[in-house]
Amino acid sequence: MDATPEAIGATQGPATRFVLASGSPRRLALLQQIGIEPDSLLPADIDETPRKAEPPRELARRLARTKLAAAEDALHHQDQKVPTWLLAADTVVAVGRRVLPKAEGPDEAADCLRLLSGRPHRVFTAICLLSPNGRRERIVETRVRFKRLSGRDIQGYLASGEWRGKAGGYAIQGLAGAFVVKLVGSYSAVVGLPLYETMSLLDGEGYPVRAAWGSLA
């Protein structure tokens, strides 16, 4: 006799829940790329101002942890019976120890692009995971070098509007990809979420990362 849906559910145990502590469409798209569809999004509205003399790596770590804590607090008001995996991330762009802002205006974006022009910079993306087994985190450093940007490059990119709200004033997955001469590290981390490290963390903490892969064929 074939098993009923109820019997199947009973043998498989309780369902799992995956929550992304971000409202970033880029991070969502990256998760979907590896077959993970969050059950819900819990973006955190936090103060992202760097502390005095705070290294870029530590800033990324602190902000990811703060986002995770804010989302965890929000989850306390929801159903806690379902095993939950909660993921938060933050990306920081830096030239030396100088942290570049998430550009909100064209002048700010232009300043970032001039600073990045013809020189290397580093992108730090921190990920923090809360699972039924505990907390884990990773920080990924990627080195990127832009070509020397002309005035036409900068003005054209400003006109595109892609820079708005982006760390360092650019989005590597868009037009600014044409500026990249060299990248050492994780491309997806520069976009906003390092896929290898994210999948490794989730897999190691027991989340069924491959559950939907068969349906993608």
| Residues belonging to the active site | 90
Q: How far is CA 83 from the centre of its chain?
A: 22
- Of 163, 145, 142, the closest CA to residue 56 belongs to 142
- The amino acid that residue 22 corresponds to is S
- The amino acid that residue 80 corresponds to is Q
Residue 74 near residue 128 (C-beta atoms within 8 A) = no
| C-alpha torsion sign, points 56, 190, 143, 163 | negative
Helix (H) or strand (E) holding 56: helix 56-75
Q: How far is CA 150 from the centre of its chain?
A: 30
d(CA 183, CA 147): 12
Residue 172 near residue 180 (C-beta atoms within 8 A) = yes
Kindly compute the dihedral angle of the four CA atoms of residues 108, 109, 111, 117, in this order, to the nearest 10 degrees. Answer: 170
Q: How far is CA 210 from the centre of its chain?
A: 20
